[in-house]
Structure 1
Amino acid sequence: MDTITTERLHLRPFTPDDASALFRLFSLPEVARWSGTGTPMQDVTEAYARIERAGQRAGEHPAAALFATERRDTGAFIGMTLLVPIPSSGGADRDEHEIGWHLHPDAWGHGYATEAATALVERAFAAGMPQVYAVTDVDNVRSQAVCRRLGMTDLGLRSDWYDKELRAFSLDHP
């Protein structure tokens, strides 16, 4: 998997050396509440396990990946961005991908999520994906605003993925 460089960010594959930073990120309740079970990480071993599973989570599509996301000017780890298969509810067989982002609160409000997500959308479309999705917790208005800035269509509340009701967005390949 290659890296992505934007004007202000560097997205690269995770390594085990990122476990401490990933743990610090997902141990924060204000970050963890929007991810997975919504429960903050309790131990760095959870971060190592997440990094170890990254390849499996990314699936087979060559554009799909989970990226450690850093500021180019400082090299500081600011979060994780992803382009991965989106699990269908009820085990339905669908071939769809989502973009997502989990950034440290210090990085919120600076346009980093939009910048990273734009790069992932470009990557997806360049690799032939016909459409990408983003799914957000119903109450995650910050991520919903990023989806709108990306030009995504608000699909409303849907239960198509993750076996729960989420606010979904889509963007078709131009």
Structure 2
Amino acid sequence: MHSFTTERLLIRPFIPDDEELYCQLFTDEKIMRNSGGVIKLEQTKKNFANSLKAIEKKKKAVLNWAIIEKESLEPIGFQALSWLKPSHSPKPNKEDINQVEIGIMLLTKANGKQYPEEAMGALMEYAFNYQNIDRINAFYANKNLATKRFLKKLQFTFEDELQPTTTKNSYQYFDKPQWQQRLITKVFD
């Protein structure tokens, strides 16, 4: 697991000092309104401890990174890659491929600055280049319009026939061939 940077962000693996930010995000009603609701502080602390253990043991179940604003050196959120079990794979993945779910949470003070596109774009590059991922999946609440917008900017694929049977959630994906095509296009532009 590596640290990496973008123009405005440092993205690094969790360290014990990130517990406060992690708890702040998961216990904030406004932030969690589109993510299943607030998690109790005791459970949040337990989840954070498990995240640190996974990093220490180099487990590839869930990897978490803190997102640090370079200019202020303040943590503004975190993002994660969660490996999907074959039984939880979206419908188009009949073959056994290496795929993850991607997620991001930011403090409200980081909203409106296009940090999700920058941070997730960098994490996608890391996943395809260093984790040998074949597909990145994004699951989100339909009412989460901000997520829908930045997934569109990142050019995730939305297919009607792949949507969950409930009307409350949506699914989009981005696969390695799309990533390779995007890189080729950048070189020739």
TM (normalized to structure 1)? 0.81
Matched residue, 2:100: 97
1:68 aligns with 2:73: no
Considering only aligned residues, what root-mean-square deviation do their CA atoms show, in Å?
2.9
Q: Which amino acid aligns with 2:17?
A: D
- 1:9 paired with 2:9, answer yes
Higher helix share: 2
**CA apart distance, 1:27:** 1.7
Corresponding residue for 2:154? 150
What is the match of residue 140 of structure 1? 144
Secondary structure of the structure 2 residue equivalent to 1:171: strand
How far the C-alpha of 1:154 sits from its partner, in A, is 1.2
Report the CA distance between 1:164 and its aligned residue: 9.1
Q: Normalization by structure 2: what TM-score?
A: 0.75
Q: Which residue of 1 aligns with 2:118?
A: 115
Q: Is the 8 A contact 1:3 1:11 kept in 2?
A: yes
SS in 2 for 1:110: coil
**SS in structure 1 at match of 2:81:** strand
Deviates more, 1:71-80 or 1:25-34: 25-34
Paired residue total: 165
**Structure 1 residue matching 2:159: 3-state secondary structure:** strand
Q: What residue is the counterpart of 1:82 in the other structure?
A: 80
User: Which one has a bigger Cα radius of gyration?
Assistant: 2
CA offsets, 1:68-122, max 9 Å, x none?
Answer: 1110111111111112224617xx9875212211111111110101101000110
Identity %: 26
1:154 match: secondary structure = coil
Residue aligning to 1:159:
164
Distance 1:125 1:106, change over 3 A: same
